[in-house]
Structure 1
């Protein structure tokens, strides 16, 4: 059996659902093609095929329809159909089977340019501009054709006014200027397997109007059709650019440091491990880790954070963010094709190819809807004159109008336009959603289960309290830092971070005492830092001191006691503290009636202290299988459950949940494994995801109402003889434009109420 593989393409010029449908139908007829996924909003097509497929013929067929197609990748093996890409056992929304090959598809972007092909589209084939969608609209072929058609219509009116005897011929000539490209495209689509295209309905209606001596209206309808298609293209281009604009944040040049010298090089040429210099005010040109320097980084272009974040040695920085007040030396950790922004853009484009259940239903509905419209139009044109003595001219005219009213473009684009805009808006602030099914499912969530460490908390301990018994608090911290110098233990790092800026004394003869603490000599005196139990073996703690330490322990804090010689100097308390927005983020969920619960393997005392501080129900001391069982219990109560964790050690619970959400700072785990990811570690973003989903589903309902409502109104008025052909075309192209513009409102920032 031939190996299944997939190839991904960039398709230029798609601006409506009709475009995607025709391409999908044509490509599926190519031998060896098993599945096709086309995204209008992303401008991409993914083809799953076997070794018998002639990709050159496939590309020729798409370009024959008038679309510029270029291969984004070589051919790669893919999982068998139906295989879910749940490497880490993350959950998925019910019914979502459209992203089983995402990992492979993501890798496909990383191929040499030499593999790319760009077949030239056939000039003048149709009314759509299937060239690049860049530049002003009036310079595009679609724009030029629309302007020419409008000018011809005006000229026809002028000629008809001056020479009435040739008016009908003038309007027919004006009509043909716009109709010929549309008709040629209709024929090509029919030959490729799509006989009931909007272009075919348009061609039949226009030619029929000429036959019944309505040439003036036919010319007007063709012009309005082109105007509507032009507006669709402009709106679709805006939606597409909203996510691609992220890529423009990364500077094209970088200052590469080699042999003590710096030189400007293209950012795309930077290799992993390269050292770059970032001057104050410059955008950082690659993902990396700071080697030297301390600066405030403005991450607003990528994360939406309103205030700069102070970063220093060993901190990670992202491509596209802006260096503030000091020069930085950064070691590159990801090539240009794999930096955080590039991966977000790539994964959002792939997500836009994944259809939501609502979208799949409308696609199936439209397959029967369009032929039904043709049948209804034919019946309206034939039955009244044939059986009830109606006028042929009147009823044929009404039948032609029904063809235009019934075109399904607005209905078919209503869902993908809204979903694409939402995916783009979410990605711009670090909310990554793996497709329409996940986006749709999030709006139904009624319970959210959170991991503690690294999800509700920062994931690393911080110094919370310094107790000075016989020494000042500053001296206690400085001497503790001297003992921990050079250690990589999380508690040691917490002390060293807290002591930054203090004068640290020199320590010698440092020794680690397994399970107890560490000793060293400072200024000739033996100093010990360790657990209260070990400290009590050296110097007896008073009742008051023990009580203060016990109170800190009850708050879930780890306490280290400092002894200088035979003197109890003081104590330092540390704890993995909640994220800054955790309390507000959880409150946003509960205010919407969503149940929240913390699932953690940590001890009950620490978990309860954090839970009480955040106001969340706590289930502690859990094994991974215990977390999974709790998620299943919640689902058995009729709740729709989202699980938020790190994407690895919460795998069973993530798999059991309706939606698995990874919390992470743009890591591979957060980007590649879960159904959704909060890239920038804000707990409040979980509530924003749910809000975004609800806004999207509301927008989709509005779009469907607009699409079907306008058609219903014009259907009634047309049969009643109130409206004619040119208002009928507004029921289609006008509705499509309104639906697209309404969907673009979702590009506005997400803000929780």
Structure 2
């Protein structure tokens, strides 16, 4: 449960920057309103977006002020006040440069430039303020570890009283699991007390009668009765907090680099502006005209030399460095911490939880009984501690399980808080505890045990003695373990030039020396109280060295606050150390420390670049260009030089930001582990959900009831007073109803302050806006696309059947939907004379449409008379509205849909489909007839062409046969063949070369020869017939290779072109082919 202590809580109240953030947001909103028209026109030109129009300013007492001028005046007043306050204190600050720049911009009638300068200055201030916002939040939670109430034993009874009312000498009861409320001495009971938040010890300390306990420590197991020695603000915890608060107060804030350089920057700028004015006045001929013209170059010097780049030089680099550290587990709570870390020359470390893990481990086992091994000693010790939850028990049981030892069951267990444990294991009595606990049990202690305990103590280990059945088996030593990365981190820091490197701890000298040797630290200071650690750091600072301190506990809080840079390790139970420190290391706490030092030095280098090259170098070039060269170019350029100076000034500011962004990639790995980033965000969300609880909220609200009540009352009052502010848009007017009476004069566009609700009510009216009323349907859209005959009907959005159903002059039902467009001509009549003007206008429009529809027939309305319908309805409705005097002007009546009712639409569709089917069939019949005629013509043409070809072929064949007969006759006569029978071929066979005429000729010739030759001629005829069939259509020459003498070749008309010699009979062997 959260507790508060008044005497502690008052030390760490922090200054709120909410006013600064709200004022910067206000200036940003005003600046946004000023540039809204330009942004809207630019975006609209690219993306075709119509941005809403906003008022250009506010009207006060009849005078109009632009948003930019308001922003410049409001922000400039604050800056001017700060500049005057600095001047009265005898110092020049960058606020003076900002004030001069704002005044210069206003004087040359450039309020937008002035507002921009103001806004950039405020953003720079917010960037610095936000880094210190959370410096002391957990310091307030430090008080929660100490209860405000405690149980005091008075007259044998327990009384619950406040801690401030407890007197020294009284006795306080501390139950298990509760925190000790006072400093005192234990008079009754034994327990283990966790003092890690105060002393940094990793092991709970055993407490018994006579031992001292401290406020804020946690009682773990047994109940304790404590006699009060110190209470309230006199406790050790209160003194630790007092030392921390004193160190925080004494640590002067880092003087801003911009303020330090502005002492030289401002006189130089003012001198340059004066010199520029005098030179320009002389150049332009002197007199009033010369003075007027010389104002522009001089003001250009002031505007372009505005110290915005100088102001952003430090916070821009620091914010970029913080962004670089975002994924490394390093939290830097102030930009000044990075600047100081870059100058650090020495560094000091705490031991417990810093160089070590804060987790006990078994280091060694010393057997003392004869024939007993280390495993046997560990097995009996683990069995005794098996049921204990003490950190020492967990270390011993964990070591036994790691060695896979068989731990016997425990039959009986008893814990002795602050001393040890006793148990019955396997029928044997086992005792495990400190040397004092063993001696109190009356167990004989051998001489070897003292030497073993001294050896363990010299090594910085916590010793436990294991006794079984009254015999000392051995001793076990446990200690904290070093972080694996500690040696490499110390080595890297030494390579970076940090010397000396110290180890400051409240632990024993032997334990501190052992860890120092392991990590490579030579200078060790042990057994130090929290105040003594701070004194050691103070001595180093007196030697002129910048010192950093790395720690994690409340005992480190004074040292962290005293150091030039306090680096805290973020862990559970160490919130105070984390908040006192300027830098918090999370995750792998020591690993990013060398990177942090290198990044701090690079950040300081970037800051110097921003100041030297951009704040001074870029401004110097800007003065030459915009204040000296441009005014000499032309009169137009001279008058525009302040505007170009403002633009150039922005270039310098952007250059500062771009140069600072280089820190985002400083020593960054090449690959981006996006999944790691998602996991980190999920863990952060889970942590936040665990932190937020209804109990915490109710507890906080209970302790801040008065503040919440006041805040709620203030917010309610502000909300009520906000109803006095009325904004009328540029295309609007405001109707004022004051206590039921409507004022005659409407409110013009702009910002107005009126009486709050319910004394006045404002109606905003847009008189030039075209509004619509739907007839026959209801929809949120202001207009619908006109519908056609083929459009679906009956299921439109918000259809009103009763209103849409009308009857034509030829007694046909139709459904009509229309839109009436109108404007408000008299807002007072429209809003206050008629209860529902839109309903009245809709009723009159419906009546006018019904009258016009009743005078026309259905088909005419459906096909051709829509324009006439709209015109007549508009005329009738306009007359009715004028007569009623409801303050509106009708612009148009648009018919959106006109169709028969859905119940008879299907019949119309059937008729239409039948007509379409008839037309389709007629077209198909015409298409088929034309196709048949075309096919017949093509077939006739083919027959005629074929007949002509046959006729021509017959004529040619006949001519060829006649010629063949003549040639054959001539050949026979030439060779003198007389008595021979020639083959006869089938008549008309075109495959044979002779044809019909040759056959007739040979038949007539054969009838007159000797019949004795018929056998030989028949044989020859068959042979020639077969050869003719085989060689038909082929160019061949057939001869007998046995024939001798000349061969006579017949003309080509004869085939197979055979010429017989003078022999009377053909040969009896086969003929051979030869090409």
Relative to the length of structure 2, the TM-score reads: 0.38
Contact kept? 2:557, 2:576, Cα under 8 Å? no
Contact kept? 1:463, 1:574, Cα under 8 Å? yes
After TM superposition, the structure 1 = structure 2 runs for residues 322-333 of structure 1, keeping only pairs within 5 Å, are none
Counterpart of 1:316 in structure 2 is none
Counterpart of 2:492 in structure 1 is 588
Distance change (3 Å), C-alpha of 1:401 and 1:740: same
Contact kept? 1:467, 1:571, Cα under 8 Å? yes
Contact kept? 2:552, 2:577, Cα under 8 Å? yes
Counterpart of 1:713 in structure 2 is 621
Contact kept? 2:413, 2:424, Cα under 8 Å? yes
Offset at 1:627? 3.5
Contact kept? 1:421, 1:743, Cα under 8 Å? yes
Counterpart of 2:508 in structure 1 is 603
SS state at 1:662 partner: strand
Offset at 1:691? 3.3
Bigger radius of gyration, 1 or 2?
2
Contact kept? 1:228, 1:734, Cα under 8 Å? no
Counterpart of 1:698 in structure 2 is 605
Quote the Cα distance in structure 2 between the aligned partners of 1:355 and 1:702. Answer: 25
Distance change (3 Å), C-alpha of 1:150 and 1:721: farther
Q: Higher RCO, 1 or 2 (CA under 8 Å, sep at least 6)? A: 1
Distance change (3 Å), C-alpha of 1:362 and 1:485: same
Counterpart of 1:678 in structure 2 is 585
Distance change (3 Å), C-alpha of 1:142 and 1:443: farther
Quote the Cα distance in structure 2 between the aligned partners of 1:368 and 1:149. Answer: 43
Distance change (3 Å), C-alpha of 1:730 and 1:473: farther
Counterpart of 1:641 in structure 2 is 547
Offset at 1:452? 1.5
SS state at 1:635 partner: helix
Quote the Cα distance in structure 2 between the aligned partners of 1:242 and 1:372. Answer: 31
Quote the Cα distance in structure 1 between the aligned partners of 2:597 and 2:352. Answer: 22
Contact kept? 1:611, 1:617, Cα under 8 Å? yes
SS state at 2:656 partner: helix
Contact kept? 2:355, 2:486, Cα under 8 Å? yes
Contact kept? 1:143, 1:230, Cα under 8 Å? no
Distance change (3 Å), C-alpha of 1:119 and 1:385: closer
SS state at 1:357 partner: coil
Quote the Cα distance in structure 1 between the aligned partners of 2:528 and 2:43. Answer: 73
Offset at 1:558? 3.5
SS state at 1:700 partner: helix
Counterpart of 2:651 in structure 1 is 734
Match of 1:615 among 508, 520, 523: 520
Distance change (3 Å), C-alpha of 1:553 and 1:121: closer
Counterpart of 2:353 in structure 1 is 454
Quote the Cα distance in structure 1 between the aligned partners of 2:462 and 2:654. Answer: 61
Deviations 1:635-678 (A, max 9, x none): 34332222333453345544553344433415431343344443
Match of 1:506 among 401, 409, 412: 409
Contact kept? 1:425, 1:747, Cα under 8 Å? yes
Quote the Cα distance in structure 2 between the aligned partners of 1:423 and 1:375. Answer: 38
Counterpart of 1:483 in structure 2 is 384
Distance change (3 Å), C-alpha of 1:514 and 1:402: closer
Contact kept? 2:433, 2:465, Cα under 8 Å? yes
1:381 aligns with 2:277: yes
Unaligned runs of 5+ in 1: 1-77, 80-86, 89-100, 110-115, 132-139, 155-178, 208-221, 245-350
Quote the Cα distance in structure 1 between the aligned partners of 2:563 and 2:663. Answer: 27
Unaligned runs of 5+ in 2: 1-5, 47-64, 82-98, 134-247, 632-636, 670-1075
Counterpart of 1:104 in structure 2 is 13
Contact kept? 2:124, 2:315, Cα under 8 Å? no
Counterpart of 1:418 in structure 2 is 317
Quote the Cα distance in structure 1 between the aligned partners of 2:261 and 2:488. Answer: 43
Number of aligned residue pairs:
491
Distance change (3 Å), C-alpha of 1:242 and 1:122: closer
Contact kept? 1:696, 1:746, Cα under 8 Å? yes
Distance change (3 Å), C-alpha of 1:201 and 1:356: farther
Contact kept? 1:228, 1:733, Cα under 8 Å? no
Deviating more after overlay: 489-498 vs 428-437 = 428-437
Deviations 1:44-74 (A, max 9, x none): xxxxxxxxxxxxxxxxxxxxxxxxxxxxxxx
After TM superposition, the structure 1 = structure 2 runs for residues 13-32 of structure 1, keeping only pairs within 5 Å, are none
Offset at 1:471? 6.9
Offset at 1:597? 0.9
Contact kept? 1:461, 1:575, Cα under 8 Å? yes
Quote the Cα distance in structure 2 between the aligned partners of 1:186 and 1:626. Answer: 53
SS state at 2:357 partner: coil
1:493 aligns with 2:394: yes
1:399 aligns with 2:308: no
